[in-house]
Structure 1
């Protein structure tokens, strides 16, 4: 089914930040929009706020005056549900309460014409459950925008058990016509983004709880090595811990307490204390006026720069070797098992084992492990850990070389798979399970994570780039280190590895 024409009147119910944003998107795309809210004057105030925001864009030269005027002319407040009877699409953006939403949709079904599409902007409730008591549940779907709706590109088009394919297609094509990047997903807990993103928060939270590093250091590694816009602690402080923790608990409960989605005791403590992040002035960081900004840990060294002997180094570390050579560091290539020898030290990319375990397994002295980076040629920071018996001189020699190459070196305690590697492996693992369970296609999952939460690379594409053998091996080693099913590799990862195929095939 093609996109709804601009002759179709769109209604948005709920004039809060999300509802107003959706109304603005539809109006800017050319639709007449009716905005309804049960609170007296709320719809009028929301339209006035949109008018003010668009006026600022005009003043900044980012929007033409006639576009501003046309958009506002298409937005109309509507005092009653009865006034929405002739709309072709109604989008609900009210409180996340199942009973309240079901009551609303029952009333809308009785009022609206038979071909009207009913959509919910819910981020966590089941579309199947919302539609279950309707006479025509096939005309209902989820249309999940991300906040702020006028800015964020992603829209999840969510099909419940009864949603017709033509309704899902109409919403997908309409969202695309509105300038968004839509993706199809089944109505499963968390849909795509709120499910696949859980490891992004969970692994940093776990490392903080284990004392591997502090918040500022872990966030800096995710940004400066992993290429993410923000680290987990910055992001949860921005989202609000009440919101982020509630989503995690919802997904955890919905999946019958699968430990992959286990909520964090550290985050619960913040919620219990009322330290909700930026909006309360304190979260993992202190945002009060007199608070000092926390700096990430960084190692320095005055050791002489040693040549780097690369013994059979694979594709993942070759960009790092090129960076060494570009900075005047001598690199000697010879056959071997993927190790870098720097003076007395042995340096290797983490494979998920503890440094102490790997040193014992392979008979390596002075072993240090390097964390993954999105791109070693452009990264500005890298994580480093080492076995307890590693000498200080060996640590200094490695730090000296990495520093000479322009990398800030941030230490982590001896922890399995360090930070970036374990996070990427777990994101890929969760995304692979979503594909296996028919939640969405690989392409839509990668698009959702890039467009919805600004990941530098889709987790499935990242897994393909690393090599599925690397990802599965890392997960196996994490599982062995912790003795937990949380790190079990997805059947799809193991199947595609056995078949010699990528995740996008």
Structure 2
């Protein structure tokens, strides 16, 4: 498909920053460009601003004076919408309001010839909704540039359900001819970039809202260890929190308030307080105050430990360990260091993911009560490898790993939903928001089983809805583990659910306490319980016996998922932190051992990501089953 000929005039509606940038791009590509804005004088002012940018480019030697003059002669401000008649392509860049855009396109349809292509630069609104009331919606598509349009190479070509295929391909060819890199996207909320990028901001704000990590530390880790050009808070301050929040809210609402896209309460508060970022001089950071320094461990000297390991020390990939005495280093897999350490005398120190080829910083976490000398040994090892070390709280997924895992999951979901190909998703994220790699590529390199494991751990510790693993991601994880998504796997999981449902139907005590089974699969269960007023003592603390009961219930569900009746033959519990009225407790059970008729199952009970109890139960099978096999029904 050929691009629109240079001899064909291009119209631009909307003379703001984006419209002016698009007009400059089209004029530089050789088209006569007509710029219209409903506000009197706005189009002429925009063209004057373009002249000034061209003059600066000439002064800096980036453009010849003759070239700048040629571009300038092709730019024209027009007074009415009717002046766009004769344009073969009209691109709107007006306010992100559906009704405003609908009215504009109705006017364009009446003015422009039947062969003219009408394009919207919307960043998040549905192309189908914009064109839905037109007589000929097939000629409408999305042509989403990124700001500043003359500089950033990416353009999302968005095809609605009614967009003619030839129209979309014409726009792809035209964007290429204009020196841009187009990616094809379906008209779904956020398209590619604004959909897939949500976790970059969402996870950062979630960490900040926890009160356990400060903004400067999150930014430093994602910049210096993750390889991102800017940290999420720095970037949100630059974009403007009002703009960033508006996109988040738009995507969230369009997905039916899916918890994966839930906007940050903290960011809403910033916007309400007028702390919009650089445009107001104050956002997460204040322009008139020194930038806070990230948390950095002091140099550790005097240690000469010998470290040995498997897989070679490489914090950019999973699958390695390094040990020295009672200290072991591992890459985070989403679980906490306390979960990895268990009750042994040694300490497992988790290392956050690093993606930069020469990272300057790395985050680590140890169990809360780990011996100081164990943490110092880990710090000394990493400092010896040239890292600045940030000692983090024992958070699920730490900082970089949870961000990258959720970005990779979002990319996989976009591919599975038919939004774009994996190649186009990665291209969009590298060129549109300057990611060091495409997030789908990260998933391939790190392993989809690692990505799913991080999400599973976050779901168990924090929010099963927000961090749920999609069927497509689960399939990739099984294939990465050498377990294809075959009927046997699905049948085993279905039997586990039916057995759990049968057991739960007879468990009146657990139901009376308000417990709910959130997840279940063979040897695995997640059970939740909200602490009610009648569950706390005079000090406002949840009775330990009820926490034990919750863990025991999750243990029982996990043990019975094989559809063989089991009973407990012993259990040990350690209480680590209190729970109070209103807390949502989540018990996560994993079967660790199963042989013959006996088994061992570990359960961790969480409150807002904090482990409050650890439980180990031993089980024994007794005769009988819980649910009939499919052949019996």
TM range (shorter): over 0.9
Offset of residue 307 of structure 1: 4.0
1:440 aligns with 2:438: no
Please name the residue that 1:334 is paired with: none
Whether the 8 Å contact between 2:316 and 2:353 is mirrored in structure 1 is no
Whether the 8 Å contact between 1:300 and 1:400 is mirrored in structure 2 is no
Offset of residue 276 of structure 1: 0.6
User: CA–CA distance in 1 between the matches of 2:306 and 2:390?
Assistant: 20
User: CA–CA distance in 2 between the matches of 1:130 and 1:252?
Assistant: 19
User: CA–CA distance in 1 between the matches of 2:316 and 2:306?
Assistant: 12
Offset of residue 389 of structure 1: 2.1
Offset of residue 39 of structure 1: 1.4
Q: Give unmatched runs, 5+ long, in structure 2.
A: 483-633
* Aligned residue runs from structure 1 range 236-247, under 5 A: 236-247=236-247
Residue deviations 1:257-300 (CA, integer Å, cap 9, x gap): 11100111111111111111111111110112xx1221111001
Please name the residue that 1:325 is paired with: none
The structure, 1 or 2, with the larger RCO (C-alpha pairs under 8 Å, 6+ apart) is 1
Aligned partner of 1:359 among 341, 344, 350: 341
Change (3 A) 1:304 1:32: same
Please name the residue that 1:346 is paired with: 328
1:419 aligns with 2:399: yes
* Aligned residue runs from structure 1 range 47-446, under 5 A: 47-288=47-288, 291-313=289-311, 316-317=314-315, 338-360=320-342, 363=344, 365-375=346-356, 377-446=357-426
Q: Give unmatched runs, 5+ long, in structure 1.
A: 321-336
Change (3 A) 1:55 1:428: same
Residue deviations 1:67-104 (CA, integer Å, cap 9, x gap): 10110011111111111110000000111111111111
Residue deviations 1:218-242 (CA, integer Å, cap 9, x gap): 1000000000011111011111111
User: CA–CA distance in 1 between the matches of 2:178 and 2:146?
Assistant: 14
Change (3 A) 1:247 1:442: same
Please name the residue that 1:331 is paired with: none
Offset of residue 38 of structure 1: 1.2
User: CA–CA distance in 2 between the matches of 1:378 and 1:251?
Assistant: 35
Does 32-41 or 133-142 show the bigger shift? 32-41
Change (3 A) 1:30 1:216: same
User: CA–CA distance in 2 between the matches of 1:191 and 1:501?
Assistant: 31
Aligned partner of 1:459 among 393, 414, 439: 439
User: CA–CA distance in 2 between the matches of 1:319 and 1:198?
Assistant: 24
Structure of higher CA gyration radius: 2
User: CA–CA distance in 2 between the matches of 1:47 and 1:343?
Assistant: 69
Whether the 8 Å contact between 2:315 and 2:352 is mirrored in structure 1 is no
Please name the residue that 1:21 is paired with: 21
Offset of residue 303 of structure 1: 3.1
Change (3 A) 1:316 1:480: farther
User: CA–CA distance in 1 between the matches of 2:324 and 2:426?
Assistant: 38
Residue deviations 1:12-53 (CA, integer Å, cap 9, x gap): 001110000000000001111001111111111111111111
Change (3 A) 1:339 1:499: closer
Whether the 8 Å contact between 1:475 and 1:489 is mirrored in structure 2 is yes
Aligned partner of 1:497 among 461, 470, 477: 477
User: CA–CA distance in 2 between the matches of 1:386 and 1:39?
Assistant: 59
Change (3 A) 1:316 1:466: farther
Give SS of 2:122's match: coil
User: CA–CA distance in 2 between the matches of 1:501 and 1:446?
Assistant: 24
Give SS of 1:280's match: coil
Offset of residue 338 of structure 1: 3.5
Give SS of 1:409's match: strand
Residue deviations 1:141-200 (CA, integer Å, cap 9, x gap): 010001110011111111111001100000011001111111111111111111100000
User: CA–CA distance in 2 between the matches of 1:260 and 1:227?
Assistant: 24
Does 485-494 or 235-244 show the bigger shift? 485-494
User: CA–CA distance in 2 between the matches of 1:443 and 1:308?
Assistant: 44
**When you count strand as a share of all residues, which structure comes out higher?**
2
Offset of residue 129 of structure 1: 0.5
Whether the 8 Å contact between 1:303 and 1:397 is mirrored in structure 2 is no
Whether the 8 Å contact between 1:141 and 1:159 is mirrored in structure 2 is yes
Give SS of 1:278's match: coil
Residue deviations 1:442-500 (CA, integer Å, cap 9, x gap): 11100000000000000000111111221122221221222422111222222233345
Offset of residue 305 of structure 1: 3.7
Q: How many residues align?
A: 482
Does 220-229 or 303-312 show the bigger shift? 303-312
Give SS of 1:487's match: coil
TM (norm. structure 2) is 0.74
**When you count helix as a share of all residues, which structure comes out higher?**
1
Please name the residue that 1:326 is paired with: none
Offset of residue 314 of structure 1: 6.0
TM (norm. structure 1) is 0.92
Give SS of 1:230's match: coil
Please name the residue that 1:332 is paired with: none
